[in-house]
Amino acid sequence: MLVDRGNLVQALVHKFGGQATTSERSKALLGGKGANLAEMAAIGLPVPPGFTLATPVCAAYYANGRAFDDGLRAQVAAGIAHIEGLTGRRFGDAANPLLVSVRSGARVSMPGMMDTVLNLGLNDASVEGLAAGSGDARFAWDSYRRFIQIYADVVLGLPHSDFEDALEIAKEDRDYTLDTEMTAQDWRALVGEYKAIVAAALGRPFPEDVHEQLWGAIGAVFESWESDRARVYRRLNAIPAEWGTAVNVQAMVFGNMGDTSATGVAFTRDPATGTRQYYGEYLVNAQGEDVVAGLRTPHYLTRIAREAASAKPLSMEEAMPDAYSELARVFDRLEGHYRDMQDIEFTVERGKLWMLQTRSGKRTAKAALKIAVDMVGEGLISKEEAVLRVDARALDQLLHPTLDPQAARTVLTRALPASPGAASGSIVFDADTAALRANEGVILVRVETSPEDIHGMHAARGILTVRGGMTSHAAVVARGMGRPCVCGAGAIAIDMAARTMRIGDVTLREGDKITIDGASGEVMQGVIPTIEPELVGDFATLMQWADEVRHMRVRTNAETPADCRTARQFGAEGIGLCRTEHMFFDAARITDVRAMILAEDQAGREAALARLLPEQRSDFADIFRVMAGLPVTIRLLDPPLHEFLPQREGDFADVAAAAGVDVARLKHRAAELHEFNPMLGHRGCRLGITYPEIYSMQARAIFEAALDVAADGGEAPLPEVMIPLIATRRELDMLKAVVDDAAAAVFAERGQHIPYQVGTMIELPRAALMAGEIAESAQFFSFGTNDLTQTTLGVSRDDAARFLTQYVDKGILPADPFVTLDTQGVGQLIDLAATRGRATRRDIKLGICGEHGGDPASIDFCAKVGLDYVSASPYRVPIARLAAAQAALRAQN
């Protein structure tokens, strides 16, 4: 959409602080940080003044060739004047300089993914004014070196390590251990070294002009929206690229002005457990990046937390009681105002508290459940709001094993429990190796993580860092991903050259196994056994509330009794997909399956199938017992027959011997069955048309098993026989007749009858288009979205990983269509098929059984189309239950 550029700019620079605070609160426009800064300023909290460049400026920046026009520059100048007026300082003034921070602010939190610049506005002249005005030369020169270091990294693109190395050498030369030992003269000298590094690398001096500094930083923040780490984070969290980021320019306040100054990050409730107690960390004489980036290990916020950890350094509650008391009042006010747990960044400058940010805090799934349920009890939110508050995808964190408390363990060290859960895996020391070796299960061990590590953190089972606290980058990102994380393990020494880590007298190499427990902070040698989680208490309460409001039923995809029991425990209301081919691969029956394939005539096939019948009947009976009284959709044999024959040369002799045939005959049959594109070949209903005796045996096994279970006193199951890969009504009619004949024969033999249905999977575009005609014979449709996505997009799911990531990054597709349903293309076919099917048969049952049945965004679409149920893998059943409830609530609003 083209908009007059002057008018666009007028609407997209918004001030906060004082009477000029914008009335705009849209996070889509101002970003989450900008909207919340304006809100805090409006309710009278101490917020340093500033202004926000709204999110559409990000798109305009890229559309205009990464340039800023004069209209925008004028509005930014007005914003600077606004800050100057409220602070009494002047931007670029040598005597009384205004310093600002430049930060990102997307509409949803992306912790650590984009860039920040602090102390902007310092140069060789203004640093002297800052020193004189503050009466603290050390503080002024420390701030200047910090600015050069972060600006050189973020804006100029120079390696951060060059400056860290220079700092370490400076400390070593002076026999210092801590940064705080550096004097004003030491920092002044280091500033000279930093500027020399810049000049040597770029062939030009570090910029002295403060306006050049400002526009460089604004551009760098917009650039960071398209950084590799931001793209990865957006892809993992389904954040559209077109949203863009806002930029917040705000007056600096300083936590590094001596022992009466501090900076910190805090949560109004524990983000790991949800307990209603203040949780956070702070550092005296530091700036915010020291805490967030994990550059120094911080101290506890409260006395209770410090004592629980047996830590010696005083908590903020003890060291700064007045500032802490004011902070506690702000905590309560913000949580009451936003009616949600808040994540807060603050600074204390010479005893005065300043609020730099508030946002709804990221939390573990366990904490999300507890906070939501507790806030209902506290009268802050309703049950319906509680259901909407919990990210359905995050429930996955609760559904996996934790360490067995009875198991023996060798604890190597204890550190900060940054993200709950436990994980075992092979040690790796960098993100690339973690991604490369993800399939074997790895623990990413780093001195500290940075946003560039995002792909490795996602690939790892757990994360362990030497430095950083419970609000460091590693901790925040790990909690958001549901990865166990232990931080601040200072007892670990990593040797990157040797690819080893040492803890005391124990040396471990890359590839050695360790276990971390993010709930206790323990790091253990080897692999520790685990136990299944217990889903009670807050989980059960929220699931009950969800079930009260959802309309869609939730089934499971399962074909073993164990999976069925797991799914029932998680609340499954039947089976939406039982894949019978998985039963055929069982070692005890694969020989008979191969005998059936190798048979030269129908009689030979039927003889082999007769041997399979008792096994198949037993399989179904076991499932029916677990799913007593619930619908069970059984898909008849789907994959091509060659999949049951050996694929590798070395296996032919063993299989031939087991089958009682010679190798030559086996190879000949395998060659006959070979297909160039088996996904579109002789499979599904096409097998049933060619070899109806296969489907007849399976149908007989289903009905005999159902009657056996009913005769044993169990509640009769509700079998739904599903014919796969139907493209025409004629195919379904022919195979429905096979099923009906088997049912009639079994019922006549047993003298009993049970209700059953016959339907089909809609997994071909033609079937979707012809749904009205197919529904004349089908009693239900189950949308097989895995294959429907493949056949609609013409993309192989097994090969798509090579290019789909780029398709998402480049905006060709909004998300991986095999993870989240392509609602525009595949979704249109589902909608059309549902409409046409219902027009023919009003009571036709409609469901979805692909992997999308466990994806919240896809479930939302299914609700809009009006499907009767979704079916998901057992461990995703709770996710589907909650997502279905959320879809129903959103439809009401």
Rg (the chain; Cα; Å):
32
Average pLDDT of the residues in 449-454: 78
User: Tens of pLDDT along 526-563?
Assistant: 999 877 676 668 999 999 999 999 999 999 999 889 88
Positions marked active-site = 473, 849
User: Tens of pLDDT along 276-289?
Assistant: 999 999 999 888 76
Report how far residue 157's alpha carbon sits from residue 141's, in angstroms, rounded to the nearest whole number. Answer: 22
Residue with tokens 């097994």: 798
Q: Which residues contact 737 (CB under 8 A, 6 or more apart)?
A: none
The pLDDT assigned to 532 comes to 67
Question: If we measure between CA atoms, which residue out of 732, 738, 743, 734 comes closest to residue 841?
Answer: 732
User: Tens of pLDDT along 290-344?
Assistant: 766 555 778 999 999 999 989 999 999 999 999 999 999 999 999 999 999 999 9
What sections of 135-209 are H helices per DSSP? 137-154, 160-173, 184-202
Report how far residue 688's alpha carbon sits from residue 724's, in angstroms, rounded to the nearest whole number. Answer: 9
Q: Is the pLDDT of residue 175 over 90?
A: yes
Q: Which residues contact 575 (CB under 8 A, 6 or more apart)?
A: 555, 556, 557, 558, 564, 567, 623, 627, 630, 631, 632, 633, 634, 871
The pLDDT assigned to 3 comes to 38
Q: Whole-prediction pTM value?
A: 0.76
Coil, strand or helix at 210? helix
Which position has the higher pLDDT, 871 or 675? 871
The pLDDT assigned to 416 comes to 85
The pLDDT assigned to 677 comes to 80
User: Tens of pLDDT along 29-69?
Assistant: 999 999 999 999 999 999 999 999 999 999 999 999 999 99
Average pLDDT of the residues in 741-761: 97
Which position has the higher pLDDT, 390 or 666? 390
Residue with tokens 């575009």: 765
Give 233's pLDDT tier (boundaries 50, 70, 90): confident
The pLDDT assigned to 731 comes to 98
Give 650's pLDDT tier (boundaries 50, 70, 90): low
User: Tens of pLDDT along 813-847?
Assistant: 988 898 899 999 999 999 999 999 999 999 999 99
Q: How large a percentage of the chain has pLDDT more than 70?
A: 95
Among 188-197, 593-602, 656-665, which range has the highest average pLDDT?
188-197
The pLDDT assigned to 6 comes to 42
Coil, strand or helix at 59? helix
User: Tens of pLDDT along 677-696?
Assistant: 877 888 999 999 999 999 99
The pLDDT assigned to 292 comes to 61
Report how far residue 719's alpha carbon sits from residue 703's, in angstroms, rounded to the nearest whole number. Answer: 8
Q: Is the dihedral of CA 815, 819, 823, 828 positive or negative?
A: positive
Helix axes 663-673, 590-598, angle to 10 degrees: 80
- Residue 275: phi and psi, rounded to 5, are -60, 140
Q: Is the dihedral of CA 271, 273, 278, 282 positive or negative?
A: negative
Contact criterion met (CB below 8 Å) for 386 and 477: no
Q: Is the pLDDT of residue 639 over 90?
A: no
Mean pLDDT of the chain: 90
Contact criterion met (CB below 8 Å) for 877 and 556: yes
Which position has the higher pLDDT, 474 or 612? 612
Helix axes 210-224, 70-87, angle to 10 degrees: 110
Q: Report in angstroms the alpha-carbon separations of 793 from 235, 765, 785, 816, 830.
A: 20, 10, 11, 12, 14
How many Cα atoms occupy the beta-carbon half-sphere of 856 within 13 Å? Answer: 19
Residue with tokens 């210092």: 176
The pLDDT assigned to 7 comes to 44
User: Tens of pLDDT along 577-622?
Assistant: 998 887 777 667 777 888 788 777 888 889 989 999 999 999 999 9
User: Tens of pLDDT along 383-430?
Assistant: 999 999 999 988 876 776 678 877 889 999 998 888 878 899 999 999
**What residues are paired with 357 via a beta bridge?**
345
Q: Is the pLDDT of residue 210 over 60?
A: yes
Q: Is the dihedral of CA 188, 191, 195, 201 positive or negative?
A: positive
The pLDDT assigned to 111 comes to 80
Q: Is the pLDDT of residue 349 over 90?
A: yes
- Residue 91: phi and psi, rounded to 5, are -70, 120
Contact criterion met (CB below 8 Å) for 521 and 414: yes
Q: Is the pLDDT of residue 172 over 50?
A: yes
Structure-token pair, residue 565? 């029991």
Q: Report in angstroms the alpha-carbon separations of 52 from 104, 345, 655, 888.
A: 10, 18, 70, 36
Q: Is the pLDDT of residue 9 over 70?
A: no
Question: If we measure between CA atoms, which residue out of 255, 207, 20, 220 comes closest to residue 102?
Answer: 220
Helix axes 663-673, 652-659, angle to 10 degrees: 110
User: Tens of pLDDT along 780-807?
Assistant: 999 999 899 999 999 887 677 678 878 8
Give 670's pLDDT tier (boundaries 50, 70, 90): confident
Q: Which of 702-706, 764-768, 870-874 has the lowest mean pLDDT?
A: 870-874
Q: How far apart are the first and last CA of the chain?
A: 28
Which position has the higher pLDDT, 472 or 349? 349
Contact criterion met (CB below 8 Å) for 840 and 772: yes
Structure-token pair, residue 22? 């914008």
The length of the chain, given as a count of residues: 893
Q: How large a percentage of the chain has pLDDT more than 90?
A: 69
Structure-token pair, residue 188? 């002044």
**What residues are paired with 524 via a beta bridge?**
411, 515
Report how far residue 450's alpha carbon sits from residue 672's, in angstroms, rounded to the nearest whole number. Answer: 55
Q: Is the pLDDT of residue 213 over 90?
A: yes
